[in-house]
Amino acid sequence: MKYSTKAGKLDELRTHCLITTTHTARSVARALGFEDYFDASSQDFVDKPGRTLLIVLPKSTSIRRLLLAGTGAVDELSPNDFRKVIGAVGGVLKGASFTDAVLAIEGFKVAGYDGYQKARVALALLSAQLYRFMASKQPDDTPTSQLTRLAVHSDLRSHANTGRAVRHAQALDTGMAFARDLGNQPPNVCNPTYLARQARQLARTPRVRTKVIDERELATIGMGAFTSVTQGSATPGKLIIVEYRGAPAKQAPLVLIGKGITFDTGGISIKPAAAMDEMKFDMCGAAAVLGTTRAVIDAKLPINLITLVAAAENMPSGSASRPGDVVTTLSGQTVEILNTDAEGRLVLCDTLTYAQRYKPKAVIDVATLTGACVVALGAHASGLFANDDALAAKLLEAGEYVWDRAWQLPVWDDYQQQLKSNFADMANVGGRDAGAVVAACFLSRFAKQFAWAHLDVAGSAYTSGATKGSTGRPVPLLFQYLLDQS
């Protein structure tokens, strides 16, 4: 989608569709001389959040359609109702037969939102609804949107602020689409080699460099936990590094780490067959950090960002890790592998240790790590764990701002005892209780040298059932956090 801004009088616009409130639409109709036509067309419209009405106007008008978005008889919408309004608009635009539209954003008054936030939230919601993945499908008879251009209208006083919101929304749209496309690719396409190839394409942009460390070198430098996961697959694992330099070299970088298990069978501790196809989404953490990086590059943010993707397949074979194996991590600590299906923390722990060499300002890892987090929070919130309260607060605030919410859970020392092992410094699982917390506590043992946060997105990164697919989360949260840092 191409986003832009427009200013000036609404009744002087030329567009295939003007999206606005009933009150503003009536004013436009009056100025253009077809108020009676508008009143007759909208007389049965129920003006409340979630309701819409598309009115086709006479051919003589420069505005060909009015899309009324119900708001109800209130001076200000609540943020929840605003999202409902924009969601209903997106439902109409998903089947749009026209190619351009204008959103008259100033007609929507939202409690607590300034113009910038209003535009950002609206465009993010529309982007999410208008996305479609068609890379591996033939065209069918399902109505598809013809909309390719959407402008946000504002008055001259707020035009610069709206323009900034649109630029950031455009960058986020590109990053979200990139992340969702990666997540939705089938696992016979999206493997560690494919992820590396996609990351290399980012380096075509100035100030970006990509490096890929292959499985043999990972073993050589001592990443024994990482390679214990990759050794069962015919496709070699890789540590993918994307460096974006948007600030002076002396400025400490922020580091994003993504779990990139491109397919997770569970290894020798094999998963049940039902819904195993969804384990292609086990790389959505990697997709999210790469999508966020793409958004940062497009927005030209003045920060230094290092993105590390731990890419591997977890497959059962004669060379795969066994329950009971003991491996040595890059940090020198040893891990007894009690469950080969707890592989994400194994690739992440070595990657966290690797991140120390960048002397980071903060490190954030993103992973579809535990089913326990889905049980705890469902699909509405990502699980947030951190060893730094200030970092956690900033991430929570960013998520609230763009409505990509997270909820903080503890990483108390009380839980660490569940990871005790008779044969190694720690086990990779700690029993059934508090599974998401214990997984985070495991990772925290490798993040003592820097401010660290862990986002468990097992419930939020993708959906099942009829709407099965990648959501792109938590790209909005991460991008907003990095915006705030810049």
DSSP state, 50? T
Q: With residue 376 as reference, give the H or E element that holds it.
A: helix 371-377
Spatial strand order in the sheet of 426-427: 326-328, 334-336, 426-427
Tokens of 350: 């070595």
Residue appearing with tokens 């610069």: 160
Spatial strand order in the sheet of 18-20: 2-6, 149-153, 100-104, 18-20, 65-69, 52-56
Measuring CA to CA, which residue among 81, 101, 105 is closest to residue 24? 105
Tokens of 76: 């200000």
Tokens of 166: 């649109």
Whether the link from the prior residue into 206 is cis, omega within 30° of 0, is no
Q: Please work out, in degrees rounded to the nearest 5, the angle formed at the alpha carbon of residue 195 by the alpha carbons of 191 and 200.
A: 150
Residue 279 CA to residue 270 CA, distance in Å, equals: 12
Strand runs labelled E in 192-333: 208-214, 238-245, 254-264, 304-314, 326-328
Residue 304 CA to residue 273 CA, distance in Å, equals: 43
Beta bridge partners of 166: none
Residue 64 CA to residue 460 CA, distance in Å, equals: 39
Tokens of 5: 């801004």
Whether 32 contacts 61, CB under 8 Å: yes
Q: Known catalytic residue: 345?
A: yes
Whether 89 contacts 52, CB under 8 Å: yes
Catalytic residue among 271, 300, 361, 445: 271
Catalytic residue among 294, 345, 394, 405: 345
Buried b or exposed e, range 265-280, using 16+ CB within 10 angstroms: bbbbbeeeeeeeeebb
Rounded to whole angstroms, what are the CA distances from 120 to 54, 83, 149, 194, 251? Answer: 24, 12, 16, 31, 28
SS3 label, residue 100 = strand
Residues in the chain: 486
Distance between the two ends of the chain, CA-based, in angstroms?
25
Tokens of 144: 């598809």
Catalytic residues: 271, 345
